[in-house]
Structure 1
Amino acid sequence: MREEPQPIPSIVLPPIQDPDKEGEWLKSSLHNWLDQEFIPEAVNEKIAQRASQIFVRQRLEGENDLGALVIAIVTEMQAFDFSQSFYGEFAIANAVSDLILDSLGIDHCCGN
Structure 2
Amino acid sequence: MTEIIPPITLPPSENPHLEGEWLQQSLLRWLDTEFIPEAINHTISQRAAQIFVRQRMEGENDLGSLVIAIVTEMEAFDFSKSFYGEFAIANAVSDLLLDSLGIDRCCGQ
Report TM bin, short chain. over 0.9
Coordinate RMSD, CA, aligned: 0.6
Q: Could you state the TM-score of these two structures normalised by the residue count of structure 2?
A: 0.98
Report the AA paired with residue 76 of structure 1.
E
Residue 84 of structure 2 aligns to a residue in which SS? coil
1:80 to 77, 81, 92: 77
Q: Could you state the TM-score of these two structures normalised by the residue count of structure 1?
A: 0.95
Offset from partner CA, 1:56-109 (integer Å, 9 cap, x none):
100101111000000000000000000000000000000000000000000112
Structure 1 unaligned blocks of 5 or more: none
Of structures 1 and 2, the larger Rg is shown by 1
1:62 to 42, 46, 59: 59
Q: Report the Cα distance in structure 1 between the residues aligned to 2:28 and 2:8, rounded to whole angstroms.
A: 23
Structure 2 unaligned blocks of 5 or more: none
Structure 2 counterpart of 1:50:
47
Counting aligned pairs with the same residue, the percent is 74
Structure 2 counterpart of 1:14:
11
How much does 1:110 deviate? 2.0
